[in-house]
Amino acid sequence: MIKPIIKHLMKLNSSLPGVARKATFGAAIIFAASSLIFTGCQKDSAPKPDPSASAAVATTATRPPIGAGRNLSTGSDHGYFYQCYVSSGSGSISFPQAGTYAGNFQANWSNVGDIVAGKGWNPGSVRVVNYNCGSLTGSYNNFSVYGWTTSPLIEYYVCELGSVASGSAIGTLSSDGHNYTVYKHQQIGQPSIQGTATFWQYLSQWGGSSTGSNHAVTLANHFNYWNSHIGQMGALNLQILAIEAYGNKSGSCNATVW
């Protein structure tokens, strides 16, 4: 199992549309081990999404202000690192099919100020991230490969569904059969995994993925492009497949990463 080393995650910035910022906080999130199991994600054959589920809606919203009431839970499950961050409202993470698909997770949220929940690795690596989003219902902001580096401190997203577009557009990157628009955005004096800091965000925006089928993200293509067009990345820290929703949204996501 991968021992979680994350101490502080994420930040919020109420003045910008796009990527939600996460702060550092205390109490552990309540896990919903008995939560409803939606149609799962499979590695070898693509599952069908829940036929009774309504289509998920990706939207933008004003981020909640930095303040009290946030909860963060991290740990390991079936050899994968996981996290669940909730600012307000109700949110949880569980692993209903992890006995069969080790990277499976289920996130549920209701009237949430902000949730970032998912599964992956800590530390990450220059890998191909395979995933299957078997079910995504309600409303959300982005479904992405998400991570941090240190020395320098950088936050990065590769957005597969929804949007993380923010800051300055740098160019277009072709990877895995898709065209991503690359953005950079500087956060000044914002919460991070190293406390309040100034750092860059590296953002690859596609958003055209689908549920119920297998997809891949070749991180080397994004890392190489970011290094040459924005600036050198640092040592890899946490790296997860994550669902993010903010602005009093409600929904659920069942996905598998490997």
CA distance linking residue 64 with residue 15, whole number of Å: 10
Within 10 angstroms of residue 228's Cβ, the number of other Cβ atoms is: 9
Which residue among the candidates 244, 251, 256, 258 is catalytic per the annotation? 244
CA distance linking residue 226 with residue 228, whole number of Å: 6
Q: By three-state DSSP, how is residue 15 classified? A: coil
Where in the chain does DSSP place strands (E)?
Answer: 57-58, 71-77, 80-86, 90-94, 104-121, 128-140, 142-150, 154-162, 168-175, 178-190, 197-205, 214-218, 235-257
Q: By three-state DSSP, how is residue 45 classified? A: coil
Cα torsion 193, 194, 196, 201 to 10°: value is: -60
Which residue among the candidates 50, 77, 155, 160 is catalytic per the annotation? 155
Question: Is 244 marked active-site?
Answer: yes
Active site members: 155, 244
